Each structure stands twice: as C-alpha cells, then as structure tokens.
Amino acid sequence: MSSSTSDRRLSELWNCVTLDEASSLINSTSSPFSLQNFVGGQYIAPHDSLTSSSQHITSFEPKTGRPIYTLPCTQPHAVEAAIKAAKAAFPSWSKTARAERSAILWKVSELLQQNREVFAIWESIDQGKTLDRARVEVDRAISNFSYFSTFILHEQTAARMVDGVALTYEHRSPAGVFALISPWNMPLYLLTWKIAPCLAFGCTAVAKPSEVTSMTAFLLGDIFQKAGVPPGVINIIFGDGATTGAALVASPLINGVSFTGGTQTGIAIRRLTAHQIGKHLSLELGGKNPTLVFADSMVPSVRERTIRVAAMAAFENQGEICLCGSRIYVEKSVYNDFVRDFTAYVREKYVLKQTVGAVASLQHCDKIRGYLELAAEQKATFHLGGAPPTLNEDEAQGYWIEPTILTDVAKNSAIQIDEIFGPVVTITPFDNEQEAIQLANDSEYGLAAILLTTDGARMRRVGEQLEAGLVWVNCWLVRELGTPFGGMKNSGTGREGGEHSRDVFTVVRTLHLPAY
C-alpha cells in the first residue's frame, strides 16, 4: 500500500463518528482495510510480511461475521527491526526529563479524549462489545495516560543511615526495552494500561495487540505521532502469538515483558524467557472468579444491589473480562430466592444485541458452545440461555450467545473448573462460611473474587482468606490506579499499578555513601 493510500484510509477511519458511518465505510470497501505496523514513528509494511496468504491475518466483525481488515503476521526479522528501533530510542528517552515525558503523555490523553467517540466506535465494531461498554473502556484508557503522566512528577525514594558509618539510598532508572502484549477482550484499555507506565518511567517498547482486535492499536500510532512521542519510543506491530509474539518475547534485546492473556500463553512466555534470568516479567493471566452471596445480602434493603452487582460481574462485556464472577455461590437459605431474582434481572437487563454484544470470534463462539453442549449432556439446569447453532465462517451472521445461567453443575465438571470467558455463569449453594471459602478457593486460579454481605466483620474475615489478588465487597470492577493489580496461583505473577508499575519498568540499585 502506498503512503498516500495509507494516509487516505487512515483519514477515512478517523472521519467515522457514528456506528452507521463506520458500517457504511466497511460495506463500501471492495477489499478489507490493511493495517500497517507502526515502527520508528511511522506506519510501514513489514518487509516481506505480506508475500503469501499464510503471512497475513483477516479479522472479522463479531456482530456480522464479515471481514473488516487484514493485518500482517509480522515475521521474526521485522520484529527484530521494531525492537532495534525501540533500542535506538532508549538512551534519549530514558534521560528525557520527567516533566517533558509527563507533558507528552498528558497530550496523548487529551487527544484520546478529543477522539473518544471514534475510538469507541471502532472498538465496538472490532471486539463485538456494545458501544456503551466501549465508551467506558476508552475513558479508562484516557485515565491510564493522565494518571501516569502526573504520577512520575511526585516520585520519592528511601534513604537510611547506618549510624556513624554510611548513608544508603535507593536509586531507580528505566529498565530498558519492553514487550507489551495485550488480549482481545478489552483491547485499547489493556494495551494503554501497559504503554502509559512503560513510557512514563522512561522505557521504550514494542507493543503487540491481539490479532483478533487490532484496530484501535492501529489508530493509536497516529495519536502518538500527533502528541509528539519521539520516533522509536513506542512501536506497534501486528501478528499472532506463535510467530510474532514468540519472536518478540524471546529476543535478547528485550529487557522485560508485560503480558495480559491466557495462562497457557503465560507458561509459554516463562519457558521462552527462562534462560534470560534478568528479564522483567509481569504476567496477568486467567481467572475463574467466585462470587459469594451471603443471606444477609438478600434482605430487602440491599437485595437489588446484590442482584445487580452479581449480574454485572457475570455478564458485563459478554463475560469476556478476566475479572468476571462466573462461579456464584449462594447461602442455602436464600438460594432459591437468589436464582429466581437473578434470572429475572438478567432476562430484563442483559438483552442480546441490545445490552449484550457478540463474542469476539467464531473460534471463541465455538469454544463457548462446546461448554454449553457439555452442560446439556451433564443434565445441568438451564434457567436462561442455551447452546447456539453451529456456524461456519461462510454462513456466520455474527457470533451471538445468549446470557446463560446454569444450576446443578457438578463440582468436578469442566464448566465449574475451566475459564469459559463468555456469558455463562453457574450458581451453587453452600451451607456455611467455611464451605463458601473452600468452594471459592477450589480453583487453580486466583485473580479476583466478589463478596456480597452486609456483615462488616465477615467482609474482613472472609475477604482476607480468599485466594485472589483482588477482592471486591458489594461492588465490582472498581479501580484506583495506584492499587496493585494481579493474581495469585495460575492467575499470574507480578503486580501493576502506581508504584507496582514502577517496580515492573525500573531497576533499583542501592548506593552506600560514607557518613563523613
């Protein structure tokens, strides 16, 4: 694609300020858009990356099943070129004054705010989520840049005296070049959650979004240009995990990896980098999160809140959030009431194609359908939803799955154990507090948990025993960007957010100075 053609196509994307305009643009195009890598401050086609059909990827619109763009499956030599661009930019950027880095990142947040609706439109089309949900995530992406742009202006360090002998103090410096890899479920939000602190703390990066949802990452390159981010500081390449991602994380020129995605991919990253002991790793992986509903949370004064929070945690973004509460455990005395009220609420509030979007891909739709077919085979009770019909790529009219509520699912069923990552929730009774804790912790994962109770003592007593990196009490998805974000067990390693992101993207050394 020529430079003028690329610029025209980019302009067409920016000019879509409604969903209808974006859909019309897609329909009016004889062939899908071709996304280009953003390397060294400009859009480029990776050398030889589109020379055969096996070296490009087609992305489909989840709500219709139609192709919307192609992207390069960036080959290892082109990955290395992007890494070298980041490496070349690091000496200057790492020594750039914090006030200057702050101003540039603040400008990024302003430009995102100015283009909020355009980003939300393309995020909704690309991922399948509702436009309202996409707007929430764009707002959080804006906050990522505004937060870290000011955070770095107020850093502090620690100094200690060894009485009469020495003064010691901690000194931090940027860690180097990072690989930033984000998933397909919240593309812009989670990619910027990595880019913002990485650049704020003086590192440079090569970012790779999921090949399933790459559109808003493509648009970000233009934002970085307009904000004045120096060439090579942030590079965005496209491709799959096996080819592009593996070459990226395994490169000896990469000093650290921040990854959000599936546990199996996280394990693969650990293996690929095992011989590089000093490489920083921050891995936020899968979750099969419990929601605990105690009887006191079903009294009339708070019942509506309990049902609303449990439903939001189960079905927001079609259940495609690693923090969703997909295992609901309810105290037996209120179990039947909860199932009845919860089902009625979800039926009214979470309506397919209105307040519930499409799942992200045909492959993921097939995966979820397989679990629902298994539920039917295992004689689970469907209070809502069911397995959708089998589709192939040629006949797909969108990847739609009804919100599904299941009871009578065995404890050892794959439906209770595996991360389904869709609009599917199980409800199971418990007898007492200790059983609730045991059921909640009976998982290989430990990312998040939701605790619904009005008992203040129980909030701490139970909350502090849950094996989860994040515990929400009577709320869900509330975030303060300085708090540590990450999981236990197979839900990952490391924490990000505020000072914890500083730990990821900097190295610390201790200096010892004579006292006299």
414 domain residue, yes or no: yes
Q: Does residue 245 share a domain with residue 354?
A: no
Burial class (CB in 10 A: 0-12, 13-18, 19+), 307: buried
Beta carbons of 49 and 73 less than 8 angstroms apart:
yes
Q: CATH number of the domain that 335 lies in?
A: 3.40.309.10
Q: Does residue 148 share a domain with residue 247?
A: yes
Q: Does residue 157 share a domain with residue 9?
A: yes
Q: Does residue 131 share a domain with residue 198?
A: yes
CA distance 347 to 345: 5
Q: Residue 96 contacts by C-beta under 8 Å, 6 or more apart in sequence?
A: 202
Q: Does residue 338 share a domain with residue 228?
A: no
pLDDT digits (tens, 9 = 90+) for 406-425: 999 999 999 999 999 999 99
% of the chain beyond a pLDDT of 70: 96
Instruction: Report pLDDT for 156.
Output: 87
Q: Does residue 370 share a domain with residue 351?
A: yes
What is the domain count for the chain? Answer: 2
CA distance 343 to 416: 19
Q: Does residue 137 share a domain with residue 16?
A: yes
Residue 235 backbone phi and psi in degrees, to 5: -125, 140
- Of residues 284, 320, 419, 467, which has the active-site annotation? 284
Q: Does residue 246 share a domain with residue 169?
A: yes
Report the length, in residues, of the chain.
516
Residue type, 174: P
Q: Does residue 230 share a domain with residue 299?
A: no
Q: Does residue 57 share a domain with residue 183?
A: yes
Q: Under DSSP, is residue 67 helix (H, G, I), strand (E, B) or coil? A: strand
Instruction: Return the half-sphere exposure (C-beta side, CA atoms, 13 A cut-off) of residue 420.
Output: 32
> Over the chain, what is the mean pLDDT?
95
Q: How far is CA 365 from the centre of its chain?
A: 19
CB count within 10 Å of CB 89 equals 22
513 domain residue, yes or no: no
- Domain extent at residue 98: 5-285+496-503
Instruction: Report pLDDT for 164.
Output: 84
pTM value surpassing 0.75: yes
273 domain residue, yes or no: yes
Tell me the pLDDT band of 52, cut-offs 50, 70 and 90: very low
Pairing state of beta strands 488-489 and 445-446? antiparallel
Tell me the pLDDT band of 7, cut-offs 50, 70 and 90: confident
Q: How far is CA 234 from the centre of its chain?
A: 19
Tell me the pLDDT band of 54, cut-offs 50, 70 and 90: low
Q: Is the pLDDT of residue 397 over 90?
A: no
CA distance 110 to 42: 21
Q: Does residue 304 share a domain with residue 163?
A: no
458 domain residue, yes or no: yes
CA distance 372 to 389: 11
Greater confidence (365 vs 47) lies with: 365
- Whether 284 is a known active-site residue: answer yes
508 domain residue, yes or no: no
CA distance 64 to 314: 24
353 domain residue, yes or no: yes
Q: Give the residue-averaged pLDDT of 350-370.
A: 97
CB count within 10 Å of CB 485 equals 25
